[in-house]
Structure 1
Amino acid sequence: MMGAAMGRPLDGVKVLAVENFVAGPFCSMWLADAGAEVVKVESPGQGDFSRSTSPTRDDGEGVPQGLSFLRTNRNKKSVTLDLKQPEGQALFRELAVKADILVENLRPGVMERLGIDYNALREINPGLIYVAVSGFGQKDLLPSPFKDNPAFDIVGQAMSGLMYRPEREGDRPTYLGFSLADLEGGILGAYGAMLALIQRGRTGKGQLVDISLYDASLILNEISVAMFSVLGTAPKPGLHAVTAPFGTYRARDGYIVIAVLGEHIWQRFCEVIGRADLVGDPRFRDGITRQANNAVLNELIEAWLASYSRADAVSLLVKGGVPASIVQDVGDLFHCPHVAARNMLMQFDDPVWGKVSIAGNPVKMSAVPEAEASLPPRLGEHTESVLHDWLGMDSDRIGELRARAVV
């Protein structure tokens, strides 16, 4: 395989992760895919809350195993450590001395109360890159007035204006139906970690990388921000801010999308549907005027589509240089040739859930082999090996810690 001899970009990089649910685990999973040794520090007996979040299945020993945990924890190691005990905190600090990157998405203030926040850890490891993902950011950098508020993904979607963007009935805002803010926050956390790692190579110093789910959502609403700043109005729900046709349209056997952006593509589109006369129509002079006359335009398009299947319509449009595709549901992904060719579904053979498919890694690199799909770790599976390898601890010492429920 191309790149197999080159290894991975983060080989040799050590990452500590104190994380729950999606945003933090997603961030550290990207680092693990890139070759970092990611040690997930979890509380004994409980672990990441997503281990017990429904849907769950009994593992045969009476312990529920959450399907959600499998989504964002591949290629990691799990160490149990009671961070509420002083000895657990002391061990965590020893691990942090060895770490290059720390990822956490606890509520702001929790790590500080435990004595293992960025300000405490940089005293013992000045090169540590500390990535904190939270609803509204930390108090150290540009503190938000909402910094103490609890937040999940949906809060970022709500406050950023994104919930007014989808087409909907009435004036009720719409949850987008997936963890957009969490996923974007995790991606930005990994990106920030890479920037800090490059800068540390120049200065020798680590830093705090502060990621807010509100901020991560806001940047995805950027076109609406620009338009509102100039025109004072928000784009209509479900419509592109500056052009048409750009959306979903019904063919004979279902929906397709058509994306016309720029007058050169509008001209191509008119030629494909056999309506070259529309190019000179003042109602459709440019993207803004076409959008203002979107209802009329939709009628023209769907009248043309009524005699075509989705596949035939898309074939004609693509052949004519117009971006278009059929609209797929999640089940279609399992049969899509692009998904197969790009290795975008990974599969686990999990002892509890059986064969489980998860989204793959979309970063393809010529000198890096494809990311693997190793099973996420069992709770505390690597406690002994990590304490031995990172801290030189022997089995007797680890046994003593287990007896006191420190690990």
Structure 2
Amino acid sequence: MSPDGKAAARPLDGVRVLAVENFVAAPIASMWLADAGAEVVKIEEPGKGDQSRHMAPFKPDEAGRAQGLSFVRTNRNKRSVTLNLKTEDGKRVFRELAARADVVIENLRPGVMDGLGLGWSTLQALNPRLVYVAVSGFGHADTLPSPYTEYPAFDIVAQALSGLMYRPEGAHERPLYLGFSLGDIQAGMVAIQGTLLALLQRGVTNRGQKVDVSLYDATLVLNELPITLYGATGQQARPGVHAVTAPFGAYRTADGYIVIAVLGEHVWHRFCHAIGMPQLREDPRFADGVARNRNLAGLNACIQPWLDQRQRAEAVDLLVAAGVPASRVNQVEDIFACPHAAAREMLVTLDDPTWGAVRVPGSPIKMSDAPGIPLQPPPRLGEHNADVLGRWLGYSAAQAAALTGGAAA
């Protein structure tokens, strides 16, 4: 409840979003907008829909149609409307919806929406207050052109170009894919930030604008410390270790791995005290973070015997009690038993009509005066045709069915 006793609203209640999206980057951004209260209407091709509906692993729905688990990941709390944007009727209805929307978010190839007559310049003329968010591999030429603009890109391309595939331990032998959609998720986060900044500025100027997000750009900034180090000194950061400090990484104990994070000399002094080796503070090899990083083999030889004598829980408890950031290294299954994840509601359950109860990540944003996120399952293809076209445009159920390809699938 708010201080005046009224039910608290979610931050984006009343904001209308049209999403023309596939896979992960734009869908995860629009999902977070929906979590925050926006009405997100996902525009999908009749009979087909988002590509992730058709990606393995699958489960058959009640009609025997395969439903991909990937779609569950990034589409909760949305509404689905089917429109064929290659037809004049479909384009007309989309333009009518865009005229009443606050945000359009899309991650089609650059130029596709323009080719359909539904790009930024067209929609801005219809709705000057519209915020148009475009997510692509290398950005749009009308904002800041790139020689790579026309290249296809998935997440792994952004990881490769940003230098992140040379950051893990062992990457000096072969660059390593990080094993998850880091570039897509980071681009989604940047798209959310750009959307909110544009909405905030619109409150001052009464005009929308285009927000242009590149997977490569968004992922490059994650590599900021090695880039800054090279920019200042010409030195390459070594794979698998922090660029300017030590100990900072994964260490083996008697029963598994923990991480230790020493950053700053005050933490180094605490660490030496915690492991019972105050003399290390006076060793010239370990005078500061850069020196410790340079003499990492010698430092690890001093530390490892202490770790070998302790199990993970004891080592972490001793380090944390001394004010040294440390933790066990979790497998995914460990997260499902983690007391923090439970207490902070970071695993929530979606009741999907095909997949059943699926536990998925919750929202990392916790707010003091906003209710928790709703947990509506991802929509069936075309599930909200009549509802959205009726409320937004005043169409009858028969008109909506004629324009969207019929009933939900």
TM-score, normalised to structure 1's length? Answer: 0.97
- The one of 323, 326, 329 equivalent to 1:327 is 329
Question: More displaced, 62-71 or 242-251?
Answer: 62-71
Deviations 1:108-132 (A, max 9, x none): 0110111000011001000000000
1:41-190 to structure 2, matched below 5 A, reads 41-168=43-170, 171-190=173-192
Distance of 1:247 and 1:399 partners within structure 2: 57
Structure 2 counterpart SS, 1:397: helix
Match of residue 355 from structure 2: 353
Distance of 1:399 and 1:310 partners within structure 2: 60
Match of residue 270 from structure 1: 272
Q: 1:294 to 1:391 in 2, by over 3 A?
A: same
Q: CA deviation at 1:399?
A: 3.5
Distance of 1:240 and 1:284 partners within structure 2: 15
Asked if the contact 2:386/2:401 (under 8 Å) is kept, the reply is: no
- The one of 298, 301, 307 equivalent to 1:299 is 301
Match of residue 284 from structure 1: 286
Deviations 1:236-266 (A, max 9, x none): 0000000000000001100000000011111
Distance of 1:215 and 1:391 partners within structure 2: 37
Deviations 1:143-186 (A, max 9, x none): 11100001011111100111100112652111110000100101
In structure 1, runs of 5+ residues without a counterpart are: none
Is 2:313 the counterpart of 1:316? no
Q: Letter of the aligned partner of 1:123 in structure 2? A: A
Question: More displaced, 60-69 or 324-333?
Answer: 60-69
Match of residue 215 from structure 2: 213
Is 2:239 the counterpart of 1:237? yes
Structure 1 counterpart SS, 2:218: helix
In structure 2, runs of 5+ residues without a counterpart are: none
Asked if the contact 2:82/2:404 (under 8 Å) is kept, the reply is: no
Q: CA deviation at 1:370?
A: 1.3
Asked if the contact 1:256/1:327 (under 8 Å) is kept, the reply is: yes
Asked if the contact 1:2/1:369 (under 8 Å) is kept, the reply is: no
Match of residue 24 from structure 1: 26
Q: Letter of the aligned partner of 2:136 in structure 1? A: S
Q: CA deviation at 1:391?
A: 0.3
- The one of 372, 375, 380 equivalent to 1:373 is 375
Is 2:402 the counterpart of 1:400? yes
Q: CA deviation at 1:2?
A: 7.3
C-alpha RMSD over aligned residues: 1.5
**Identity among equivalent pairs (%):** 58
Distance of 1:268 and 1:403 partners within structure 2: 66
Q: Letter of the aligned partner of 2:125 in structure 1? A: E
1:336-347 to structure 2, matched below 5 A, reads 336-347=338-349
Q: CA deviation at 1:230?
A: 1.6
Deviations 1:342-401 (A, max 9, x none): 000111122221221111100001011111221110100001110000000012322333
Distance of 1:55 and 1:9 partners within structure 2: 34
Structure 1 counterpart SS, 2:350: strand
Runs of 4+ in 1 over 4 A off after TM superposition: 1-4, 402-405
Equivalent residues, number: 406
Q: Letter of the aligned partner of 1:6 in structure 2? A: A
Q: CA deviation at 1:274?
A: 0.8
